[in-house]
Amino acid sequence: MKFKENTDAIVNRLLILPLKRIFDKNRPAGIAAKAKAINPAWEPDDLIHDQEKAGLLNWMLTGLKRLLERGNFVNTAEGLAALDEMKLDANPIAGFLRDCTSFNTA
């Protein structure tokens, strides 16, 4: 995502969720493999709907409670690094300073 702004207003409202895992339907792993072992016609969501609804709901409610107590989402280190990169891409001057200058702190 690219945009031009130097106030950080947009970037400060983002939460980056890097999704890098690739799932191969021909080689199921994890919950997908467990679902296929129980019933070869099942997809992962079929197993969750059949056996895990109550646990999933409790897990979501626990996360919601934590979020409400904290008052905000918490980003990961990887998400924060991606946001920093977006800030530099959105602000040409900051990007120039990063790429084309060095600072002498002595």
pLDDT, one tens digit per residue, over 79-104 is: 888 888 888 877 778 778 888 888 77
Asked if residue 90 belongs to a domain, the reply is yes
Are 35 and 47 in contact by the 8 Å Cβ rule? The answer is yes
Asked if residue 77 belongs to a domain, the reply is yes
Q: What is the mean pLDDT of residues 63-75?
A: 93
Asked if residue 3 belongs to a domain, the reply is no
Asked if residue 17 belongs to a domain, the reply is no
Asked if residue 13 belongs to a domain, the reply is no
Q: pTM of the predicted model, to two decimals? A: 0.55
For residue 61, what are the domain limits? Answer: 25-98
Question: Which pLDDT score is estimated for 70?
Answer: 94
Burial-class residue 11 by CB neighbours within 10 Å (0-12, 13-18, 19+): buried
Asked if residue 8 belongs to a domain, the reply is no
Asked if residue 11 belongs to a domain, the reply is no
% of the chain at pLDDT higher than 70: 93
pLDDT digits (tens, 9 = 90+) for 32-66: 888 888 888 888 888 888 888 888 899 999 999 99
pLDDT digits (tens, 9 = 90+) for 14-38: 888 888 888 887 888 888 888 888 8
Q: 2: pLDDT confidence band, cut at 50, 70 and 90?
A: low
C-alpha to C-alpha distance for 11 and 88, rounded to whole angstroms: 10
Q: What's the structural domain count of the chain?
A: 1
What is the distance between the terminal CA atoms of the chain, rounded to a whole angstrom? 37
